Chains A and B, each alone.
Chain A
Amino acid sequence: MPSLKDLKNRIDSVTSTRKITKAMQMVAAAKLRRAQESAESARPYADQMGAVMSNLASGVGDTESAPKMLSGTGKSDTHLLIIATAERGLCGGFNSSIVRLARNHIIELQSAGKSIKIITVGKKGREQIKREFSDLMIDHVDLSEVKRLGYGNAKSISEAVLARFNSEEFDICTIFYNEFKSVISQIPTALQLIPAVFDSSEDNENLFYEYEPDESEILAELLPRAMATQIFTALLENGASEQGARMSAMDNATRNAGDMIDKLTIEYNRSRQAVITNELIEIISGAEAL
C-alpha cells in the first residue's frame, strides 16, 4: 500500500506528463496543417507531371531506344531500397510500420536470392534497420537540420540515386514511406522508382502532341525530374503522416494520463479517508479506555 505522499507524487508526475503530451499534440496539429498545405500545393505539379509522363512513356516505352530509367536494366538482381522515416520518435507506430513493411520486403527478396542495398532517410528508421541489416546499408540522408522540406532536398536524393544507377550499382529502386490518408490512418507504401512506373491513366485522350525536342530527348530530360517529384511527394506525404501519427499518439497519451490521474486521485482519497477513520478509531478507543 503506497503512502499518501507516494500517491501525491505520482499524481503530480502524471499531471506534468499530461501537460507535455497535450503540448506535443497541439504542436503536431499545427505542423500537420502546414505539412498538409505543402502536400496540397505540390499536388498540381505532381499530377501534371504524371499525366505528361504516362503520355510520353506509352509512346516511347516499348521501343528499343527507351531510356534505361524507364525500361530497366533488363535484370532484377540488385535492389535499392530507400526507406523514409521520421527524424523523431513519439509518433505511435509510424516508424515501425514502415520498417516492418520494408523488412518483409527485404526478407522476401533475400529468399529469392537478390542482393539488396539500403538508403535510409530519417534517423528513427535507420536505428531500427541497423539492428538487422547494418551490412546492407550504403547511405543515410540526414534531414534533421531541415526546417521545411523543399524540392531541393528531394532533388539531391534523386541525383544521388541516379548517380548510383548510372554506375550500375542497382537494377530496381523502391521507396518506402507512409501515405497520408487521415489523422488516424497512414498507410505504409512501397513505390517503385526505377524502372519508372506511370499508370497509363483512364483519360488517355490520345492527343497527338508535337514534341520539341523529340520524344526521347524530352523523356530523357523529364525522367530524372519525374523521379525527384515522386520522391518529393513521398517525403511530403511522410511528413504529413508523421505529424498525423504523432497527433493521434499524443491524443491517446493525454487521455490515458487523464484516466490515470482519475484513478490515482480516487485511490488517494480512499487512503486519506482510511487514515482519518483509523485516527478516529484510535482516539475513540483511547477515550473509552479511560
Chain B
Amino acid sequence: MASSMQFDLVSPEAALASMTVSSVEIPGSEGDFTAMPDHAPVITTLRPGVIKASSTEGSFEYVVSGGFVEVNSDSASILAEQAFEKSKVSRDIIESLIADAEKFLENAGTEAKDSADKRLADTKLLIELLNI
C-alpha cells in the first residue's frame, strides 16, 4: 500500500504546487473530505474554502475560490478557479472574491440561484475561517 500520493494544485494562470503528500483535506461542494493514498477515484467540484496538504515536510494550506478536483489512488489534482497560498491571503483578496460572488449571484438565473447563494455564503465564511 502506497504511503504517499502526488498533489497538484493548478489555476488557469499558474501551477501553484506540485509535491508528494500523505493526505489532502479538500472542501468538496457536497462536503469536506480527506484524500489519502489509495482513495477511490472521484471527481468533485469545490466550494470556496481552504485546502490543506500534509506531507513529511509539514503541511501547506491554500485558499481556493472554487474549481474541481480529481482524486486517484495515487494522485490528487486540484483545478482551482483562483488559488492563493494561505499566508499570502489578505482581506482585500477575500473582499474581491466576495464581490465576484455577489456579481455572480446577481446574474444567476433561477436555476443557478441556489449554488450562487451558497458560493457567496462560503466565500463570506472565509473571513472568519482565516481570521483576517
Q: Quick check: A151 and B13 within 8 Å, CB to CB?
A: yes
Q: Are A48 and B43 in contact (CB under 8 A)?
A: no
- Does B15 contact A212, Cβ atoms closer than 8 Å? no
Contact among A46, A218, A232 for B43, CB-based, below 8 A? A218
A218-241: CB near B (< 8 Å → 1, else 0) gives 100110010011001000000000
B residues 49-77 with Cβ under 8 Å of A? 67-68, 70, 72, 77
Instruction: Bits for A33-64, please: 1 = Cβ < 8 Å to B, else 0.
Output: 00000100110111011001000100000000
Contact pick for B70, options A52, A221, A225, CB 8 Å: A52
Verify B41–A207 contact, CB threshold 8 A.
Answer: yes
- With A48-B77, A48-B79, A49-B79 as contacts: A211 and B13 at CB distance below 8 Å: no
Alpha-carbon distance between A228 and B44 when the two chains are bound, in angstroms: 19
**B10 interface neighbour in A45, A56, A213, Cβ under 8 Å:** A45
Q: Which residues of B contact A213 (CB under 8 A)?
A: 29-30, 44-45
| Residues of A in contact with B, size category | 20 to 34
B27 on the A face (CB < 8 A): no
Residue from B11, B68, B81 whose CB has the most chain A CB atoms within 10 Å: B68
Give Cα A232–Cα B10 distance, bound, in whole angstroms: 15
B45: chain A residues at CB < 8 Å are 212-213, 218, 221-222
Residue of chain B at shortest CB distance from A154: B12
Cα A210 to Cα B12 in complex, Å, equals 24
How many Å from the CB of A250 to the closest CB on chain B? 28
- The answer to whether A42 touches B13, judged by C-beta atoms less than 8 angstroms apart, is yes
Main secondary structure of the interface of B (DSSP, over half): strand
Complex Cα gap A213–B28 (Å): 10
Contact, CB under 8 Å: B43 / A209: yes
> Are A48 and B42 also in contact (CB < 8 A) when A41-B15, A42-B13, A150-B13 are?
no
Given contacts A48-B70, A49-B79, A52-B68, contact A208 B41 (CB under 8 A): yes
- Could you tell me if A45 and B11 are in contact, using CB atoms closer than 8 angstroms? yes
**Which A residues are CB-close (under 8 A) to B40?**
210
How many A-B Cβ pairs are below 8 Å? Answer: 70
Whether B132 sits at the interface, judged by CB under 8 Å, is no
Chain A's closest residue to B77 (CB) is A48
Closest residue to B11 on the A side, CB-wise? Answer: A45
Within 8 Å CB of A208, what residues of B? 41
Residues A44 and B15 in contact in the complex (CB < 8 Å), given A52-B68, A212-B29, A213-B30: yes
- Who on chain B is nearest to A217 by CB? B45
- List residues of chain A with CB within 8 A of the CB of B28: 212
- A209 CA / B14 CA spacing, docked (Å): 26
CB-CB under 8 A from B30, the residues of chain A are: 212-213
Is the beta-carbon distance between A210 and B41 smaller than 8 angstroms? yes
Residue of A nearest to B18 (CB): A44
A283 to B42 Cα, complex, angstroms: 99
- Select one of B42, B79, B81 contacting A212, CB under 8 A: B42
- Residues on the A chain within 8 Å of B72, using CB: 207
Residue of B nearest to A159 (CB): B107
Taking a contact as CB atoms closer than 8 A, the residue among A154, A211, A229 that contacts B42 in the complex is A211
Residues of chain B contacted by A49 (CB below 8 angstroms): 79
Given A44-B15, A48-B79, residue A210 in contact with residue B29 (CB < 8 A): no
Q: Once the chains bind, are A151 and B11 in contact (CB under 8 Å)? A: yes
Given contacts A44-B8, A45-B15, A150-B13, 14 further A-B contacts (CB under 8 A): A42-B12, A42-B13, A42-B14, A44-B10, A45-B11, A48-B10, A52-B43, A151-B11, A151-B12, A154-B12, A209-B42, A211-B44, A225-B67, A229-B12
Q: List 19 A-B contacts (CB under 8 A).
A: A41-B13, A41-B14, A44-B8, A44-B15, A45-B11, A45-B12, A46-B12, A48-B8, A52-B68, A52-B79, A209-B41, A209-B70, A210-B40, A212-B30, A213-B45, A221-B45, A221-B68, A222-B68, A225-B81
